[in-house]
Chains A and B, each alone.
Chain A
């Protein structure tokens, strides 16, 4: 826990989508705060965890409607900020790494050009300077041949490398907060650890805050400082990662119980039974 003011404060966030058959509530009153720490948001598909991340940057796709009592970043209200102010904040103060570099990188722009663009939009640097900084970032994410990779296209690199490029691109403007939306879900298990290590190193070095959205409870527990568990658009549990085994909410307990352990003596893994009461929670 930090001993300074939190970077981001969210109070009573609600996101709804009008559909032909009514209104779907994707997020129903979520509140949390993030400091210079790693906050994990865990949930299954449909729990609203991804939407929460996107709502912070006001990137919820239309026709989604976002309301909240408060979404403030370093004291500034993000909900009422102008489009221009929002563009200043995106990338420069808050950044986001997305799930699959196959889709989240522009296929017809070279890797170097995309990273350099991320730098130039928030600084007055020229092309040469931006290229230099982009190469530096590529080295920082442990890409061994930065000059060569600079001129490649996204389809010419592997998934793990693509995700590292994504990280480089998102960290080059030096933001204070990074939102990672399932950053390792599209990667092979062996590569996942490498990418996480890089993210950890870079964020800690820069003293950044991180919101790590995932469906993998184990991963989040080992990686993050604090954990938020979301179910059906609500936060059902908040705890420190080290105290996860003391979790109280039956959903969290159900998740924990269904995870296999090396020292397991149970003949069968219990299946999570959902209590409709959790929807009201």
Chain B
């Protein structure tokens, strides 16, 4: 298992580097952290005391070690805005982002994979061109602007999409937050009305976010499929007399399933990034909105804590996709 341990060591080192970056960013801030805690009208004594408490009199590397220790124990500092531990705030808002990103990935896979297959099988013809155009547009459109346009069209003009928030106002708080993911919690509680309402609210933001996922997944699927359709075993499958449907969906797709899982994991990671802007537009109370609001209030602990969490999830997803590849590909065992 030497390969496995070296992978974990690599991941741990990267995470450490992540911590270093956030630590250093925190130090670059032009705001005096002591004043941020106690205000600027304090006596010299109080200032010195707080400074010592915060460990600011220690050499930099020692401060860093303290920081690492704190983070590993779950102490991300206290939010200036809410006066609560940052980690607590983050755990409260993270499920909303999780729900949004997961819904977007599902859309991405359900629409993206067949689109990619279609494009590959019809190479050079109109489905291929159409899907490549969609991919190109997806690369060029600002996601927050698309979200605004979607609100304009579907909410204001056509009135088929709901307003901001995760559920309608009178459903709020109706369901116990077991997982924090309202759709799941509603199902667990048997409140089907709330479930459908939550799904309805999820539709537009997940759709917009999902569109970018579709573009990426479709492009990768197409590329993988084109590679596979050139291979000899595809001819063998046809020689056996299999229908073209079976040749494509059972044989070719079966061979790209593993690299596709990697693509999906990476797509998930980039959706976390996209959610920052999407949540802002749709007033979706997730991690992205949390980071943005903290930014505007100069709540550095919250911003860095949020950044750290997103970075950690990013690393985790990359690790997961690596592991999945080794587990699922029969040739890699």
Q: Which residues of chain A from 27 to 65 have a CB within 8 Å of any chain B CB? A: 57, 59
Residue A90 at the B interface, CB < 8 A?
A: yes
List the one stretch of A68-76, A116-124, A216-224, A247-255 in contact with chain B.
Answer: A116-124
Residue A100 at the B interface, CB < 8 A?
A: yes
Q: Assess the B233–A107 pair: CB atoms within 8 A.
A: yes
Say yes or no: A88-B254 contact (C-beta < 8 A), given A106-B236, A107-B233: no
Q: Which residues of chain B from 238 to 293 have a CB within 8 Å of any chain A CB? A: 238-243, 251, 254-255, 257-258
Q: Assess the B241–A106 pair: CB atoms within 8 A.
A: no
Closest-CB distance, A102 to chain B (whole angstroms): 9
Residue A155 at the B interface, CB < 8 A?
A: yes
Closest-CB distance, B156 to chain A (whole angstroms): 49
Q: Assess the B238–A59 pair: CB atoms within 8 A.
A: yes
Residue B231 at the A interface, CB < 8 A?
A: yes
Residues of B within 8 A of A105 (CB): 233, 236
Residue B232 at the A interface, CB < 8 A?
A: yes
Q: Assess the B251–A169 pair: CB atoms within 8 A.
A: no
Residues of B within 8 A of A92 (CB): 241
CA of A211 to CA of B330, assembled, Å: 34
Main secondary structure of the interface of B (DSSP, over half): helix
Q: Assess the A87–B242 pair: CB atoms within 8 A.
A: yes
CA of A92 to CA of B239, assembled, Å: 10
Q: Name the contact of A90 in the complex, choosing from B232, B238, B255 (C-beta under 8 A).
A: B238
Residue A96 at the B interface, CB < 8 A?
A: yes
Residues of B within 8 A of A173 (CB): 241
Q: Name the contact of A106 in the complex, choosing from B238, B243, B251, B257 (C-beta under 8 A).
A: B251
Q: Name the contact of B331 in the complex, choosing from A59, A89, A109, A155 (C-beta under 8 A).
A: A155
Q: Assess the A121–B240 pair: CB atoms within 8 A.
A: yes
Residue A163 at the B interface, CB < 8 A?
A: no
Q: Assess the B232–A117 pair: CB atoms within 8 A.
A: no
Closest-CB distance, A62 to chain B (whole angstroms): 10
Residue B235 at the A interface, CB < 8 A?
A: yes
Q: Assess the B239–A91 pair: CB atoms within 8 A.
A: yes
Closest-CB distance, A278 to chain B (whole angstroms): 31
Residue B80 at the A interface, CB < 8 A?
A: no
Say yes or no: A103-B331 contact (C-beta < 8 A), given A117-B242, A121-B240: no
Q: Name the contact of A91 in the complex, choosing from B240, B251, B255, B257 (C-beta under 8 A).
A: B240
Residues of A within 8 A of B309 (CB): none
Q: Which residues of chain B from 17 to 33 have a CB within 8 Å of any chain A CB? A: none
Residue A17 at the B interface, CB < 8 A?
A: no
Closest-CB distance, A119 to chain B (whole angstroms): 9
Q: Assess the A104–B232 pair: CB atoms within 8 A.
A: yes
Q: Assess the A96–B241 pair: CB atoms within 8 A.
A: no
Residue B237 at the A interface, CB < 8 A?
A: yes
CA of A96 to CA of B258, assembled, Å: 29
Most buried by A among B235, B240, B251, B255: B240
CA of A169 to CA of B237, assembled, Å: 11
Q: Assess the A96–B239 pair: CB atoms within 8 A.
A: yes
Residues of B within 8 A of A88 (CB): 241
Q: Assess the B240–A107 pair: CB atoms within 8 A.
A: no
CA of A91 to CA of B258, assembled, Å: 29
CA of A90 to CA of B236, assembled, Å: 10
Residue A271 at the B interface, CB < 8 A?
A: no
Q: In chain B, what residue has the closest Cβ to A106? A: B233
Residues of B within 8 A of A169 (CB): 236, 240
Closest-CB distance, A61 to chain B (whole angstroms): 8
B314-333 contact mask (Cβ, 8 Å, vs A): 1 or 0: 00000000000000011100
Complex A-B: 5 CB contacts under 8 Å:
A87-B242, A90-B241, A108-B329, A153-B331, A170-B239
Q: What residues of chain B have their CB less than 8 Å away from a CB belonging to chain A?
A: 231-233, 235-243, 251, 254-255, 257-258, 329-331
Closest 4 pairs between A and B when the two form their complex, measured CB to CB: A91-B241, A90-B241, A103-B232, A104-B232
